[in-house]
Amino acid sequence: MRVATWNVNSIRTRYGRVVDWLLREDIDVLAMQEIKCKPEQFPREAFEEAGYELAIHGLNQWNGVAFASRLPLEDVEVGFPSQPGFLKGAEGPDQPQEARALGVTAAGIRLWSLYVPNGRALGDPHLAYKLDWLRVLADDTRAWLADDPTLPLALMGDWNVAPLDSDVGDPSFVPGVSTHISPEERAAFAAFETAGLADVVRPRVPSGYTFWDYKQLRFPRNEGMRIDFIMGSSAFAELVTDAAIHRDERKGDAPSDHVPVVVELSVDAEDEDYDRPMVF
């Protein structure tokens, strides 16, 4: 069973590339981020014709997460239980949730597609929101695994955090000045390890970036960032037999600024019948 995550940076712009890649790489389940559309705007037909069922969560032209799967998607959940919201200029606990988290179960494995808030700038309210978002998700993760320590669980997506100095090749990210690399953000990411998750890709792919900005020739100069991760429980990690970062997907016409991250699992994924997509 091949499972992947990819910040596609507008699915309506890149659905042809995404579907071609799914078929070429024999991907069973793909978690997507930054789809940037509502469910009724999603290019469903291309995925369905290729044999993929869809679960979609998008509210507007920003953010948005989705799954494409050749396996039946069960227990679809929009947002994690305690997910905080955000509205610029507003205060208080009851802010509207953004389309940043979508959970599904496929072949008995619990998967989440996550688009972690960017943070924007040190001292910005969006950074406080980001840190709170990660804190609450880590708490929920801890609760899920306390309830079922044998749960094969993976949190996948664009985390907008570079946890190690070796994950930072873009010179515009400066310690003490930039988000993504601050001690607070790195501590928030590390909390998922204490919650029971581990990066299941890094042991097999110790180096390499997953994001290169469109500006300043970042990709030709290989000035990228490693900010896309698959964080798995011990039960999930035991299933992983291989992993890869598909750097070549940053090449060619109209690429996303992110590339896919893929894991191979020792799970038999048999084809099923697909009737219709799930949309939210």
DSSP state letters, the chain: -EEEEEE-S-HHHHHHHHHHHHHHTT-SEEEEE---S-GGGS-HHHHHHTT-EEEEE--SSS--EEEEESS--EEEEES-TT-----TT--SS-PPPPS-EEEEEETTEEEEEEE-----STT-HHHHHHHHHHHHHHHHHHHHHHH-TT--EEEEEE-----SGGGB--TT--TTT-SSSSHHHHHHHHHHHHTT-EESSTTT--S--SB--SSTTTTTTT--B--EEEEE-HHHHTTEEEEEE-GGGGSSSS--SB--EEEEES-----------EE-
The region of weakest confidence among 178-182, 250-254, 266-270 is: 266-270
Domain ranges across the chain: 2-265
The region of weakest confidence among 26-35, 91-100, 162-171, 219-228 is: 91-100
Task: Pick the catalytic residue from 15, 140, 209, 258.
Answer: 258
CA–CA distance, 49 with 42 (Å, rounded to integer): 14
Task: Pick the catalytic residue from 28, 52, 57, 115.
Answer: 115
Helices 125-147 & 183-194 angle (0-180, nearest 10) = 10
Residue 276 in this model has a pLDDT that exceeds 50: no
Choose which CATH entry (3.40.50.880, 3.60.10.10, 3.10.290.10, 3.60.21.70) describes domain 2-265.
Answer: 3.60.10.10
The region of weakest confidence among 89-93, 110-114, 177-181 is: 89-93
pTM value? Answer: 0.95
Q: What is the pLDDT of residues 211-257, one digit of tens each?
A: 999 999 999 999 999 999 999 999 999 999 999 999 999 999 999 99
Q: Which residues are annotated binding-site positions for Mg(2+)?
A: 7, 34, 158, 160, 257-258
Residue 272 in this model has a pLDDT that exceeds 70: no
State the average pLDDT for the chain. 95
Q: What is the pLDDT of residues 80-92, one digit of tens each?
A: 999 999 988 777 7
Can 57 be counted among the known catalytic residues? no
Q: Which residues are annotated binding-site positions?
A: 7, 34, 158, 160, 257-258
Can 115 be counted among the known catalytic residues? yes
Task: Pick the catalytic residue from 28, 158, 170, 199.
Answer: 158
Can 180 be counted among the known catalytic residues? no
